[in-house]
Amino acid sequence: MARHASVCSHPTDSGQDTTITTSPSADGLWYLDLHSHSTDASDDAGGTVEGYAKWIVARRKRGYHIDGFVLTEHRQYDPATEYSALSEQYGVTILRGAEVETDIGHVLVYGITPEFVRGFDLKSVALPYVDVFKAARETGGFAVAAHAGRPRIGLAEHVDTRGVAVEGIVTAIEQLNGGSSNEENGRGQELADRFGLKCVGGSDAHFVSAIGRCLTAFRRPIISVEELVQELTHGEYHPVTVEQTLEAGATSGEVRG
């Protein structure tokens, strides 16, 4: 199927307008990597934000479809940081959230507001997960249990060994995580099936070539964090591997093991 460039202009989460020139995927889905770290703010990362954008452009030339990524730096959120210039330069959606650490493992938070930040010490490694999920929801954001199948830092083990509550608190998990093993991602799927949770995918990239390795496929274009929260809360989406975005197979929504 031929691709047609389209131009979207929206305010970014920083309030500035940005213009993204992109091409719709063959299946009309919008592919975002919801979990990544960069040298700008994560001390264990080796990938730069510009490096990620360049790599996505290179991947597109090889037939993969990656519309953008969300930076979820560890235990922090700087509202002053924004990447609209890079986003425009490379035609890649670049949004920001955070990966915080709670008593049930790591949690990805999107749509972070000053009110949310005031409520927590983001540097803490044991935030109360009930409060984090509740505050994200009540301040206009959305929280996702990261790498849910991973030992210690994923939700599934805490459910299995300590019986922590899920229903009414957690609505979505990162079932497909690029840093997890196949077995761990399978454990995340079991958790999602058991509690009827929505699932997202993210690379957990710390280095350039990992960006976009796992993605979330949305039914609508997303170029602002407000749109991301809207879609995560009310839209339809599912996790995919980057191989599934190749034009020939982009209609598949199945997650490979």
Partner 1 sequence: MEQRYFEDVEPGDEFSLPWRPDRAQVVAFRAAGNPETAERPDRFTDDEAAKQIGMPKAIVPGAFALCMATRVVTDWMGAYGTLHSIDVDFRRPMLHEDALNILALVTDTLEDGGRPTVKLDVYFENERGERPVQGTALVELPRKL
Interface with partner 1 (CB under 8 A): 44, 46-47, 51, 54-55, 58-59, 61-62, 179-183, 185, 206-210
Task: State the nearest-atom distance from the C-beta of 149 to partner 1, in Å.
Answer: 12
Task: State the nearest-atom distance from the C-beta of 234 to partner 1, in Å.
Answer: 32
First-to-last alpha carbon distance for the chain, in angstroms, is: 28
> Would you put residue 28 in left (φ > 0), alpha (ψ -120 to 50) or beta?
left
Q: Which long-range contacts (CB under 8 A, 24 or more apart) does 162-168 make?
A: 164/104, 164/129, 165/130, 166/191, 166/195, 166/197, 167/195
Task: State the nearest-atom distance from the C-beta of 59 to partner 1, in Å.
Answer: 7
Task: State the nearest-atom distance from the C-beta of 183 to partner 1, in Å.
Answer: 7
Q: Which is nearer to partner 1, 202 or 221 (CB)?
A: 202
Determine the Cα–Cα distance for residues 216 and 33; give it in Å rounded to an integer.
6
Task: State the nearest-atom distance from the C-beta of 73 to partner 1, in Å.
Answer: 16
Q: Which is nearer to partner 1, 48 or 76 (CB)?
A: 48
Bridge partners of residue 93, in order along the sequence: 68
* Maximum Cα interatomic distance, the chain, rounded to a whole number of Å: 51
Instruction: Using alpha carbons, select from 106, 29, 103 the residue that is nearest to residue 72.
Output: 106
Q: Which is nearer to partner 1, 167 or 183 (CB)?
A: 183
Q: Which is nearer to partner 1, 40 or 131 (CB)?
A: 40
Q: What does R_g of the chain's alpha carbons equal in angstroms?
A: 17
Q: Which is nearer to partner 1, 128 or 179 (CB)?
A: 179
Q: Which is nearer to partner 1, 87 or 180 (CB)?
A: 180
Helix (H, G, I), strand (E, B) or coil at 103: strand
Q: Which residue has the tokens 């197979």?
A: 249
Determine the Cα–Cα distance for residues 158 and 102; give it in Å rounded to an integer.
11
Residue type, 173: I
Q: Which is nearer to partner 1, 25 or 42 (CB)?
A: 42
Task: State the nearest-atom distance from the C-beta of 193 to partner 1, in Å.
Answer: 20
Distances (CA, A) of 46 to 144, 150, 230: 24, 22, 31
Bridge partners of residue 106, in order along the sequence: 101
